[in-house]
């Protein structure tokens, strides 16, 4: 599931036209965190999941949509 969440985050970030570095800076995430997350190497707490969802202007459930398929 970590890998699928990472793929979802990467997809949303790229759809928004952000580089990983620009997104991390603008949304106040560490670039190393974003890299680890997108590569499926990072677990996230619920509060971080909510922060990510807000960064993409979606709900946490929308962020998680399809990752358990």
CA distance 56 to 69: 22
pLDDT score for 6: 96
Q: Write down all domains in the chain, each with its CATH number in brackets.
A: 2-64 (1.10.260.40)
pLDDT profile of the chain (69 residues), mean per 10: 94 96 96 96 95 97 86
Instruction: Determine the distance from the C-alpha atom of residue 20 to the mean position of all C-alpha atoms in its chain, rounded to a whole number.
Output: 10
pLDDT score for 68: 79
pLDDT score for 69: 62
Q: Contact, 37 vs 6, CB < 8 A?
A: yes
């Amino acid at each position: 599931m970590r890998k699928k969440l990472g793929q979802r985050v990467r997809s949303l970030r790229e759809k928004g036209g952000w580089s990983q570095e620009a997104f991390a800076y603008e949304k106040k995430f560490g670039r190393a965190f974003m890299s680890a997350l997108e590569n499926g190497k990072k677990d996230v707490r619920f509060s971080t999941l909510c922060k990510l969802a807000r960064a993409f202007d979606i709900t946490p459930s929308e962020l998680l949509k399809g990752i358990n398929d």
